[in-house]
Amino acid sequence: MPVTTEKKGLFISGTGTGVGKSIIGSGLAKHLRSKGLDVGVMKPLETGVADPTQGGDDARLLAWAASATDQMAQINPYCFKTPAAPATASRLENRPVAYAELVAQGRALIARHDFTIIEGAGGLMVPVSGGFLIADLAKDLGLDVLVVADAALGTINRTLTTLTAARYLELQIAGYIINRMPQDPTAAETSAPHDLASLTFEELLAVIPEVTGDAHEQVDAVARLLPTLPSWPLLRTLFPEPQIGRLAADSSS
């Protein structure tokens, strides 16, 4: 059944580096792919990569989760060895980022698929090239932003700062997810979801418990976990309408 909805994808950003954007994005991709959607994925810029010719770890994880048919050059067009912001890495490696071409490539990818998950680098204020930020990339690609936060001490400040910046920059915010909630959380971790929900305009879409294993095992765990979450009815509204009935039936079976 063709998708006849404007819900063409999500741009996954985080409150910083290391909050689990790739696991969440890949988990979403794997779940939606298992329900019949043609899922596109993209990691436009990745740094700190041991062998850029093979694509970055995050990009390859997304491609695996989505059973992607696109070439790695389309999924991960800019891949750098230097562990730094993309603008810094590209300057040090003398490989400029062609921003307009990157946006065009992302739009073409979105047009080819039922639903596309694009993962940023770090947070929204990370520089890309020529004064452009990750926030600009999300806006120019025309996708709503799903913010991933961790549960650790300081997440209230980091999450509020990210959401405030997104509003200031006039991004469309799909909501936010608190990731990696420990099985035995501290007082700060326990209270973070309630505190953030009481302080934000945006929707808290899910609290994802900490999962173990290698990256592929973590993605599998998140993909299985998603439809069991109490907030799944809210989270699934982000995805194409023709699939919602099937997703609802699957989650109740």
DSSP H helices, the chain, are 21-34, 57-66, 72-75, 86-92, 99-112, 134-141, 155-168, 187-199, 215-225, 232-235, 241-252
What residues of the chain score a pLDDT lower than 50?
Answer: 1-5, 242-253
Q: What's the whole-model pTM score?
A: 0.92
Write the class of the CATH domain 9-248: alpha beta
Give the active site residues.
43
**pLDDT, tens only, 82-140:** 999 999 999 999 999 999 999 999 999 999 999 999 999 999 999 999 999 999 999 99
Domain boundaries, given as residue ranges, for the chain: 9-248
Q: How far apart are CA 216 and CA 198, in angstroms?
A: 34
Residue 249 has what pLDDT?
43
Residue 4 has what pLDDT?
36
Residue 241 has what pLDDT?
61
Residue 240 has what pLDDT?
84
